[in-house]
Amino acid sequence: MNQNTYVLPDEAARHKLLQSPLTGDGLMLLFEAGLIWLTTNQAYVNSLNVFPVPDGDTGTNMVLTMQAAFSEADQKRTSNVGETARAFAQGALMGARGNSGVILSQIWRGFSRALDHYETMDSGLLIRAMQEARNTAYKGVVKPVEGTILTVIKDMTYAAEKSIDTNVTLSEMLLTIVQAGDESVKRTPELLPILKQAGVVDSGGTGLFYIFEGMLRLIQGQGLDASGATLKPLAELDLANAMETVEEGQDYEVVIDFAPHQHFSLDSYYEELTKIGTSIQVGEGDGIYRMHIHTELAKRYEPISYTESQGIVKKIMMENLQDQVGERNEQKSELTLTPVNPGEVAVVAVSPGRGLSTIFASLGAAAIVEGGQTMNPSVQELVAAFENLPTNKIIILPNNKNIFLAAQNAAKVSVKEIGIIKSRNAPQGFAAMLRLNPEGTLEENVESMKEAIQEVHTGEITIATRSVEIDGVVVGKGEVIALYDGKLISSAKTIEEAIQKLVEKSDLDEVERITFFYGEGLNQTQANHLADGVREKHPEIEIEIHDGGQPHYQLILAFE
């Protein structure tokens, strides 16, 4: 859902709906304003990623969670504030993505619980809703960390509580909450050292602040919309995801690299491109812009002609979308999953790449959910993957730390027995799969898999999305960075150098085999060349190479 699809009522209608006590219609208007303002600031929230890796998706996860919540409540429109809040919370629960989205859903769950059985809401009831939101959010996290979204909801609630005995209006209460949220976000680096190192504030807390600020801006009559034109680093262009959303009539994908003229206007460029096609993205790197667009057959050359008037075209790439979609569908149909018998243990694995999915399937996965960095699956998608399997014994392999909470919430809403293995990446997931005994008990499988994921170490090679210094490692935007077990260990000019540093940091005395899983940015020949560099220096170690197909990460290495 795009921010431009929302049509708010006129000022007179808004004023009427937002009168205290607030009805369900007024609450929906506030929810809608919060969603719009969060969407407007989505890119900024995404940019507040601590590590310089392409997984800054907090803003996206929170927007998608809010969209799911709003959609559910929109389908059950009612003037009853309690019923409205309940529907919104249910939508947020099932649509929650990523840890930030799950915690946000818990906030709305508590918020709605306080409003249950009430037809309208005044400022006093809003305070109770904030209190319950805070309590539920903290209870939903096993080890609460301060300096996060939890701190922000706590500080907002505390500020509201101080007004509990005063006769304040709903508008005044929201102003108090927003001001407290703003101050709380600014303090997050003092509570969480990693934020201070990276020079950013907490992204989840910032997203929550924007939701409530959007509500306040609506009441105060301020604007909520922003230009649809956004300029991203080249490394953050999600062209793979654009392929997953090809609409009817989109025949061609056009990608153009160009150097813009001095008086180039991004807003005007976007506006003209919207007349030509859809799925428009623009990225920038070293003074070169890359434009991506989907068009119908008759208009496939128009983006080229128009871009030539805006700058010097350096490179043009054009692909037939329908052929690509056909190839992808054909590939997906070839994935053979393991059939499950009643009473057996079935595994649901989250996988970020086609090649990795094929390996999970070969190891016995009964269901595979597409997801990973920048594409965290929702609670609903996880539930849908196992609800129809003919067994009540399910194990979920999230294979990404940002999917843990979604997996836990999927388990809570199901009547099936669910075991969750906190696998942080695909190699750990593969190690767990090798321990699968479908005929064993759920408890035995879970215990064995938990042991297995501790026996594999993982390296990751990707491109830095921004410049930063963390744990003594100085990183320049666009450099190749290496992570070992999720910890940033080095920055380099080339992939070869990054791999060398990664291997040097690992404990090779305990390593018998290194497996290379190459991603979308590399091919088999390039991967072989990179692996040969390790073979030459360490002939005693067995090297394997597989096509992982994962986006964003050129290489994932498993040290076993």
Q: How many helices (H) and strands (E) does the chain have?
A: 22, 17
How far is the C-alpha of 498 from the C-alpha of 433, rounded, in Å?
29
> What pLDDT does residue 266 have?
85
Q: Which amino acid is located at 289 in the chain? A: Y
> What pLDDT does residue 419 have?
97
Q: Which helix (H) or strand (E) holds 437?
A: none
pTM of the model: 0.78
How far is the C-alpha of 183 from the C-alpha of 185, rounded, in Å?
6
Cβ contacts of 538 within 8 Å, gap of 6 or more? 503, 508
Domain architecture of the chain: domains with CATH: 3-220 (1.25.40.340), 231-323 (3.30.70.100), 335-452 (3.40.50.510), 457-559 (3.30.1180)
Residue recorded with tokens 């919104």: 88
475 contacts 469 by C-beta, under 8 angstroms: yes
> What pLDDT does residue 48 have?
85
How far is the C-alpha of 29 from the C-alpha of 35, rounded, in Å?
10
Helices 98-115 and 123-139 cross at an angle (nearest 10°) of: 140
277: nearest Cα among 323, 321, 230, 233:
321
Instruction: List, in sequence order, the alpha helices (H) in 413-466.
Output: 426-433, 442-453
How far is the C-alpha of 498 from the C-alpha of 553, rounded, in Å?
13
Instruction: List, in sequence order, the alpha helices (H) in 252-298.
Output: 266-273
92: nearest Cα among 115, 117, 110, 78:
110
Strand-pair category, 231-233 with 278-285 = parallel
Tokens of 191: 């509570």
Residue recorded with tokens 């600020």: 213
- Is the CA virtual torsion 212, 213, 216, 222 positive or negative? negative
Q: Which amino acid is located at 514 in the chain? A: I
430 contacts 458 by C-beta, under 8 angstroms: no
- Give me the residues of the chain with pLDDT under 50, please: 1-5, 243-246, 325, 328-332
In the chain, the N- to C-terminal Cα span, in Å, equals: 43
Is residue 147 helix, strand or coil? coil
52 contacts 475 by C-beta, under 8 angstroms: yes
How far is the C-alpha of 476 from the C-alpha of 491, rounded, in Å?
8
> What pLDDT does residue 26 have?
92
How far is the C-alpha of 332 from the C-alpha of 368, rounded, in Å?
11
Phi, psi of 518 (to 5 degrees): -90, 145
Strand-pair category, 480-484 with 473-475 = unpaired
Q: Which amino acid is located at 84 in the chain? A: T
